[in-house]
Structure 1
Amino acid sequence: MKRFADLIDRLSCESGRNARLRMLRDYFATTPDPDRGYALAALTGDLSFANAKPALIRQMISARTDPTLFAMSYDYVGDLSETAALLWPDAGAGTRNDLSLTAVVETMTAALRPQMADLLASWLDDLDETGRWALLKLVTGSFRIGISARLTRTALAQYGNRDVEEIEAVWHGLTPPYLPLFAWLEGRGPRPKPQHLAPFRSPMLAQPINETELRQLNPPDFVAEWKWDGIRVQAALGTGGDGAPIARLWSRSGEDISAAFPDLIAELTGKAHFEGAIDGELLVVQNGAVQSFNVLQQRLNRKTASSKLQAQYPAHIRAWDALALNGEDLAPLPWTERREHLENLVSRLNSPRISLSPLVPFASWDELAAARGAPAATDLGVDAAAVEGCMLKRRDSPYISGRPKGPWFKWKRDPHLIDAVLMYAQRGHGKRSSFHSDFTFGVWRTGDDGARVLTPVGKAYFGFTDEELGQLDRFVRANTINRFGPVREVTHTAAHGLVLEIAFEGLRRSPRHKSGVAMRFPRIHRIRWDKPPGEADELATLEKLLAAD
């Protein structure tokens, strides 16, 4: 446990990518099995403990220190694990240097809920501050040390002198502590085979692009597809030992969401004329028209779906790539050949729930820009409202997991922009715990008495640079007029205050919000130091946008 604690402590203090990769490689090389496998699982988000949750940690630390002191400390530090580790009373701190990561993981996995508090307390009593912090990070699963799963697997590939795509190809068929994986990387065993009969394949992602960058590319080298306002999924089919088809629906991150979409699974197994996988967008299609993301949300984040919900919001896959087909790996093929396989497959399936993502015809970037700006003017028909931009793909591009530079680009439609007034602010968490980084903003409306009043319409906590974050924090501290726990109210009159230009992707009606509307993906686009608060937008502006959508 001490070695793992030292690793994440050093990673949290290191900002250089190459240095982090070196630390991870050294850890894999010098740490025995199965500790290194469990560390790998922790860093890639593949460890969870059903009976140990953040709420338990809050209860335990509140019972051992003043609850008000804990609440104030947590508010200031912004990280539950760090706060609890620092406030935990020292009993025999540092006496359990022999505690192994394997023992911790396997004991917590087997422990029942009533045992968990006493178990964690005994370990926390015997560890020093860094060890306690590492243990609690392990429990919460929220390391927040700037290490992504992709970076961790890149370090693993470098350690084994492999390409990271090779790691991605076998990753989702493995389970902690990954003994066959390390044996393969060290030349002690064969390449692991996927254990799932309908496996997940790490997806290929697109780089964002703007019009200036776009015009540096050669139009004939690329094809364009519509970018749909849904969620990325893979539909995979295999065959069980009894010869029956097995279907799985995977999210972009590799989560099995099949149970939430039994209508799609039934369609896939009923149309099982192939084994393999297709990549595409999960949408809701009603009366032949693709619905907005707001409608799709009725089906998301559910473990199951009732028959009524399935009938009311029928799920649909708009397919844009074929990854494997009847035992053949299509990923190395150029896009043009994969597209031909996909077109033939979708045609054979002839399914009302699986359709081909249409291409956007263009001969120049000006033509594509016109189509992107007005999809309703193309032959999309009723589906135009569900488009959020274009995807550009090189005709000769293979399917490569990760986000390679050059083959695929996403050119999203320009966001909506409004000017809103900053009303409230709250400090962030982790590295932002010393800054006010979560902002509530509002627009003007006419009150019952005829006076103009500000109405909150959204919250934003990204979109600004580090320098702008400092500027916003200083403004909040200098213009606070009231406090509500951790929330500060700042000056927001027509004459005094700060205007923020807010970018967002769309609007929807929301009875839960005082304004009656909710924004999708709001972020701070620009700080309008030049604009008086009285000139910010009206709620009527949002109502017009909502009516237009």
Structure 2
Amino acid sequence: MNRFAQFLDALSYEPRRNGKLALMAAYFAEVPDPERGYALAALTGGLDFRHAKPALIRELVTQRVDATLFALSYDYVGDLAETTALIWPAKPGANRVPGLSDVVETLRGAAKSETPRLIESWLDALDANGRWALIKLVTGGLRVGVSARLAKTAVAQFGDLPVAEVEELWHGLDMPYTELFAWAEGTAAKPEHAALAPFRPVMLAHPIEDKDFDRLAPGDFRAEWKWDGIRVQAVSEGGTRRLYSRTGDDISHAFPDVIEALDFDAALDGELLVGADGVPRPFSVLQKRLNRKTVSKKMLADSPAFIRAYDALVLDGEDLRTLPFDDRRARLEAWHTATKPARIDLSEMVPFSTWDELATARETNQATGVEGLMLKRHDSTYEAGRPKGPWWKWKRDPHIIDAVLMYAQRGHGKRSSFYSDYTFGVWRGDDLVPVGKAYFGFTDEELKQIDKFVRNNTTNRFGPVREVTHTAEQGLVLEVAFEGLNASTRHKSGVAMRFPRVSRLRWDKPPAEADRLETLEALLPG
């Protein structure tokens, strides 16, 4: 466990992507099975200890430490694992220091009643760094700047393997991935049996800028609407059906209605949406179905899911990814006409002859769920990753409002010493009502400025949350950019923003001149 703790610590302090890859590749080379496999599972989100939750950690530490002292310390540090690791009054020599595999295998088989005792004994045996790593591991909040794909890339780099092949096999492999590491080290063949209904790494687009249009010929590109859902890959091969997110996560369990409809032999790339009769509903409705282990009958009836297909990767066992886009699209249309699959329709192609003509179409289409356009070269093959040139995304310009900072909370990790999570509001009558939260968009220098304002203007405290001055005369106005707006019964204002971020600090503007709720209500769909 100590070696794993040192590994996590090094990753958390390494800012460079290549540096993180080097650290992971070295760890996989130095650490034996099954330890390295469990570390890989932790980095890719493959571990779930259902009885070990943050609330349990808080309960354990407040049995050893005064609750008020812990609350004050947690408020200052801003991170549960770090606070507990530092404040925990251990009993040295009480227990043997566990290995990573000891923790994983024991905790996965432990009953709910056994879990507190196990975690307490391990916290006693470990030093501060080990306690920090243990809590990060069991609560699933590593926060070391490593995505699942980056971890898979590190395995590929360690074994000099194509990362696309690692990703395609991933969902057919079992933790602790001994077959994968044996293949990477050259001591065993590629585990071909794992490639049943695999995930194919997706092709991504670059945001287009005005200057890009000067060197692109309209006749070389095809356009289709960019829908505000989630990018998915629907795969049905050899009797196995799976629905993947764009990062390769298997989300089949949350969409049984879509899985039931995959009664064909194909791998399709598209957008997952919800709505009846092929009419998309706002993203907030789809969001209610994400990250669920089970979906109720009522939710299936009220929010039916469907796929708007963009591309065909495999049809009837034939891999089409090396074909030009126009050929893949023609094959997709012919297949869809012949198969008539339930819950799958086709993305609409947008005819145009000039960029100005396409710009007009982009601005005038106000249909719910349309957030812009996709541009794809007619001769582009389907390449994994984000190659520069073949595909572009042309999103609508974001909405901009001026809002007033109302509440702030400390961040996590490197931001744990700063107030970096902000709740902001607009005017409704003579009162401010919260309309959103943002925790990015500002520079490091601006973060310091906002943090200083929060500390100097705090008027109330609610646990870790600070209420700051927000009157018509005094306060900080934030220029907030966001992608869309939906009605919401969960928020006092009645609206919910899509991807809000701070785009500018308006020190020059008095709070009384911030926007009003009516301005946002006018943006609601329909």
* TM-score, normalised by the number of residues in structure 1: 0.89
1:248 corresponds in structure 2 to: 242
Contact 2:169–2:198 (8 Å) recurs in 1 = no
| CA-CA distance at 1:248 after TM superposition | 2.6
Q: Aligned-pair distance for 1:197?
A: 4.0
What pairs up with 1:130-529 in 2 under 5 angstroms?
130-193=129-192, 195=194, 197-240=196-239, 246-269=240-263, 272=264, 275-351=265-341, 353-375=343-365, 384-446=367-429, 452-529=430-507
Q: Which residue of 2 aligns with 1:52?
A: 52
Between 1:161-170 and 1:467-476, the stretch displaced more is 161-170
CA contact (8 A) 1:174 1:194 kept: no
Aligned-pair CA distance for 1:357: 0.8
SS at match of 1:444: strand
Letter in 2 for 1:364: T
Secondary structure of 1:425's partner? strand
User: How far off is 1:192 after superposition?
Assistant: 1.7
Question: Does the 8 Å CA contact 1:418/1:537 hold for their aligned counterparts?
Answer: yes
One-letter amino acid matched to 1:282: L
SS in 1 for 2:113: helix
Cα distance in 2 for partners of 1:505, 1:531 equals 23
Distance 1:434 1:326, change over 3 A: same
8 Å CA contact 1:93, 1:127 repeated in 2: no
Distance in 2 separating the partners of 1:94 and 1:331: 59
- Tell me the distance in 1 between the aligned counterparts of 2:299 and 2:40: 39
Distance 1:12 1:90, change over 3 A: same
* Counterpart AA for 1:280: G
CA distances 1:390-413 after superposition (whole Å, capped 9, x unpaired): 112233333333344433322211
Query: Secondary structure at the residue paired with 2:307?
Result: strand
Query: How many Å apart are 1:434 and its aligned residue?
Result: 0.9
Task: Give secondary structure in 1 for the equivalent of 2:114.
Answer: helix
2:434 is matched by which residue type in structure 1? P
Q: 1:506 Cα deviation (Å)?
A: 2.3
Equivalent residue for 1:243?
Answer: none
In 2 relative to 1, CA 320–170 (structure 1 residues): closer, same or farther, beyond 3 Å? same
- Relative to structure 1, the CA distance from residue 249 to residue 386 in structure 2 (aligned partners, 3 Å threshold; closer, same or farther) is same
**Structure 1: runs of 5+ lacking an equivalent:** 241-245, 377-383, 447-451
| Distance in 1, Cα, partners of 2:93 & 2:77 | 22
Seen in structure 2, the aligned counterparts of structure 1 residues 216 and 482 have a Cα distance that, compared at 3 Å, is farther
- CA deviations on 1:413-468 (whole Å, 9 max, x unpaired) are 1122111111222211221111111112121222xxxxx23222222212212221
Indicate how the Cα distance of structure 1 residues 54 and 406 shifts in structure 2: closer, same or farther if over 3 A, else same: farther
SS of 1:464's equivalent in the other structure is coil
Structure 1 Cα separation of the partners of residues 299 and 17 of structure 2: 45
Cα separation, partners in 2 of 1:31 and 1:299, compared to 1, 3 Å: closer
Q: 1:537 aligns with which of 496, 511, 515?
A: 515
Q: Does 1:67 align with 2:67?
A: yes
Task: Report the residue type matching 1:385 in the other structure.
Answer: T
Contact 1:460 1:524 in 2 (8 A): yes
Deviation at 1:185, TM superposition (A): 1.4
Offset at residue 17 of structure 1 (A)? 2.4
Deviations 1:362-399 (A, max 9, x none): 333322222211125xxxxxxx3321111122333333
Q: Which amino acid aligns with 2:498?
A: R
1:287 CA drift (Å): 4.4
**1:63-112 per-position Cα deviation (integer Å, ceiling 9, x unaligned):** 11111222222222222111111111122269845x32222221222222
Alpha-carbon offset, residue 36 of structure 1 = 1.2
| Equivalences, count | 526
Q: Is the 8 A contact 1:94 1:128 kept in 2?
A: no
Greater shift in the superposed pair: 200-209 or 130-139: 200-209
Alpha-carbon spacing, 1:366–1:201, altered in 2? closer, same or farther (3 Å): same
Is 172-181 or 280-289 further displaced after alignment? Answer: 280-289
Partner of 1:23: 23
CA–CA separation in structure 2 for the residues paired with 1:43 and 1:91: 30
Preserved contact between residue 21 and residue 151 of structure 2 (Cα < 8 Å): yes
- Cα shift readout 1:173-231 (whole Å, capped 9, x = no counterpart): 21211111111112211112253743333333333333334444343333222111112
Residue 51 of structure 1 deviates from its aligned partner by 2.6
Does structure 2 conserve the Cα–Cα contact (< 8 Å) formed by 1:172 and 1:194? no
Question: Residues 462 and 524 of structure 1 are in contact (CA less than 8 Å); yes or no, is this contact kept in structure 2?
Answer: yes
Q: Which runs of 5+ in 2 are unaligned?
A: none
**CA distance in structure 2 between the aligned counterparts of 1:321 and 1:25, rounded to whole angstroms:** 34
Q: CA RMSD in A?
A: 2.3
CA distance in 1 between partners of 2:15 and 2:507 (Å) = 32
Distance of 1:388 and 1:464 partners within structure 2: 24
Amino acid corresponding to residue 166 of structure 2 in structure 1? I
Deviation at 1:298, TM superposition (A): 4.9
Over 3 Å counting, the alpha-carbon distance change for 1:307 and 1:4 in structure 2 is: closer
Deviations 1:35-79 (A, max 9, x none): 111111111211222232222212111111111222222222222
Task: Mark the CA change 1:22 to 1:510 in structure 2 (over 3 Å): closer, same or farther.
Answer: closer
Q: Which residue identity lines up with residue 531 of structure 1 in the other structure?
A: K
CA distance in 2, matches of 1:255, 1:155: 18
Q: What is the match of residue 76 of structure 1?
A: 76
Distance of aligned partners of 1:73 and 1:93 in 2 relative to their CA distance in 1, 3 Å threshold: farther
In 2, distance between residues paired with 1:393 and 1:72? 54
What are the superposed Cα offsets for residues 104-157 of structure 1, whole Å, 9 maximum, x if unpaired?
A: 221222222211111122222111111111121111121111122222222222
TM-score, normalised to structure 2, is 0.93
1:473 deviation in Å? 0.9
Distance change (3 Å), C-alpha of 1:155 and 1:250: closer
What are the superposed Cα offsets for residues 269-298 of structure 1, whole Å, 9 maximum, x if unpaired? 2xx3xx231111112233453322234345
